[in-house]
Amino acid sequence: MELITGGDFKRMVAGAYSEFLLEYEAINQLDGAGELPGTHILRTLGSSIMPLADTKDDSIGGLSRRIATAAVFGARGNAGVVLSQLFQGIARGLQSKYEATSSEFGKAFQYGIIHAERVLSEIPQHHSFIDAAKLAAKNAHRAVRDELPIPEILLAALNAGKKIFSDANPEDAGAKIMFTFLSGCLKGLDGNFVSPAVSLSLGLGNHENMPDPRDDVVKPYCIMLRIKKSKANVDELEEQLQEFGNFALVTRKGSSVEVHIHTDHVGKIMEQAVGWGALRDIRIINMSESHALGVRDALMPVAALAVASDKDVAKKLQDAGAQILISGAKKSRPSVAELVSAAHSDLAASYVLVSSSQNDRLVFLQAKKLLGSRVELVLTNSDDEAIESLKKFSVTKSAEENARSMI
């Protein structure tokens, strides 16, 4: 029985990224998966591969979990969320395994496809990814049942992707995404690919108009702790922490200092922290998983967050009542990380997240799934609709009451 290792899985993900580097612009021109789906998939994959550069974990279970964590948090656009769910399903199937047999990996891959299929039920329009996923899962299941080697399991799924892409609609982005992903995974496993991902991540060169994966690095771990009887300089400590995260807040509470940071290097933060003084109330949250977010010293009871496509729209959204604005230009739609991190900022006790595009629908739903009752959604289809909804926002109402009145 052939075994697949963590190194094999790394090559598969790198192969998929390499394949999308070649195909993402062509996918953007196809119909059926929203606006710029190829770019969203590529940037989601970019966030997924970055944690692999310095990981010390060689287990396939540990690596698949790290990839899934980064993908779920870094997902952009509806297509990116679907891909992140594929990785999450695979990670759950490989949980706690150091290496996997072809049968175990095939079942995890099949589960990942089904997992990705389920999230599509949350958006109203038909998506050909569903058909491609069903057929690929069916063919992969047969190969798994027959205990074929891992490349043959992937090939069976790939052949299903070829069939739906050629027979159904060769101009459909959803089917092309599935086909490209499976093709890249197979090439990566065989080592038959040349990827510029390495040069991009190491800064050895830039490719014109190509998304740089360094721009999509996510900090999915939220660390909160208290340093008892600390004499540390709050400003100096906060400046020091900026090196390890994209959000760092240090506040003095009596004789203690409270630290709140978002990072992708939990170990480095804790190694630093033991030298600051006696540590108390340590809490580490994986923000890519559903979690309860405790309310700290929020500045306001409720705040409205919206996505601005440019400066003019940002001004209109702010005038209409939005307290938090996230950039949402055509080529850089908001990621799940940006929405979740905003809610972790302690600006408000609860939030109303206002979407202005159907292309972000799954991103907002994913943020709601992760944050639970602390956030409510108002899903609109345009900037004008978002502005009109925000005009109904009131700081005297709860997030739930606002969401009902703003729809």
CATH number at 49 reads 1.25.40.340
Domain assignment present for residue 393? The answer is yes
User: Residue 102: enclosing H or E segment and its boundaries?
Assistant: helix 102-119
Domain boundary among 234, 252, 286: 286
Mean pLDDT calculated for residue range 338-353: 88
Which range of residues forms the domain containing residue 147? 3-202
The number of distinct structural domains making up the chain is 3
- Side-chain-side CA neighbours of 117 within 13 Å: the count stands at 17
Residue count of the chain: 407
Domain assignment present for residue 88? The answer is yes
Please tell me the distance from the alpha carbon of residue 50 to that of residue 343, in angstroms, as a whole number.
Answer: 24
Residue of 55 and 20 predicted with greater confidence: 20
71 and 177: one domain? Answer: yes
173 and 257: one domain? Answer: no
Q: Which of 13-22, 145-154, 161-170 has the highest mean pLDDT?
A: 13-22
Of 272, 279, 271, the C-alpha closest to 228 is: 279
pLDDT category at 206 given cuts 50, 70, 90 is very low
112 and 195: one domain? Answer: yes
97 and 164: one domain? Answer: yes
231 and 266: one domain? Answer: yes
User: Residue 326: enclosing H or E segment and its boundaries?
Assistant: strand 324-327
The chain-wide mean pLDDT, for the chain, equals 85
Domain assignment present for residue 51? The answer is yes
Q: What is the pLDDT of residues 219-264, one digit of tens each?
A: 999 999 999 988 888 898 888 888 888 888 898 988 899 999 999 8
155 and 89: one domain? Answer: yes
Q: What is the pLDDT of residues 132-153, one digit of tens each?
A: 777 777 777 777 788 788 888 8
pLDDT at 366 over 90: yes
9 and 40: one domain? Answer: yes
Q: In this structure, what are the phi and psi dihedrals at residue 19, rounded to the nearest 5 degrees? A: -65, -40
Task: Provide the token pair at 105.
Answer: 């990996």
330 and 194: one domain? Answer: no
pLDDT at 16 over 70: yes
145 and 260: one domain? Answer: no
Domain assignment present for residue 293? The answer is no
Local structure of residue 261 (DSSP, 8 states): E
pLDDT category at 199 given cuts 50, 70, 90 is very low
Please tell me the distance from the alpha carbon of residue 59 to that of residue 7, in angstroms, as a whole number.
Answer: 8
Please tell me the distance from the alpha carbon of residue 165 to that of residue 182, in angstroms, as a whole number.
Answer: 12
Given a contact cutoff of 8 angstroms between Cβ atoms, the answer to whether 382 and 391 are in contact is no
Give the per-residue pLDDT at 34.
Answer: 77
Domain assignment present for residue 14? The answer is yes
272 and 239: one domain? Answer: yes
Task: Provide the token pair at 232.
Answer: 């540390």
- Measured from the Cβ of residue 158, the count of other Cβ atoms closer than 10 Å reads 22
